[in-house]
């Protein structure tokens, strides 16, 4: 199962962590894993390209783990864009969870 944890402070995303594997299909054909990967990496890449914010990114060597932390030093005008992009990511992940909740769970802390 993929576990998504969103860490917030004052309702703002500070970091998020994805861990585990969906195992909803054979390796290379796991649509849930592919969807979660596309949504999360797409959001991270959008933040990097559109805001040039230097995110703190940790990845597992063989997949199955991603932790992204937004630096506290981000300027307020950029933080608004970062938050919007990551909130969009969460909406997309929640859509996947709604249809495939046996393979993905999302929680906020």
Catalytic residues: 21, 33
Could you give phi then psi for residue 108, rounded to 5 degrees? Answer: -115, 145
**CA 39 distance to own-chain centroid:** 7
**CA 15 distance to own-chain centroid:** 9
End-to-end CA distance of the chain, in Å? 19
Could you give phi then psi for residue 36, rounded to 5 degrees? Answer: -65, -45
């Amino acid at each position: 199962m993929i576990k998504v944890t969103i860490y917030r402070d004052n309702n703002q995303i500070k970091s998020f962590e994805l861990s585990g594997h969906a195992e909803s299909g054979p390796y290379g054909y796991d649509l849930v894993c592919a969807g979660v990967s596309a949504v999360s990496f797409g959001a991270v890449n959008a933040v990097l390209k559109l805001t040039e914010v230097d995110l703190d990114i940790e990845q597992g060597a063989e997949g199955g783990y991603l932790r992204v932390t937004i630096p506290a030093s981000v300027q307020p005008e950029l933080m608004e864009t970062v938050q919007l992009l990551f909130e969009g990511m969460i909406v997309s992940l929640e859509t996947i969870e709604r249809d495939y909740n046996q393979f993905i769970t999302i929680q906020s802390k």
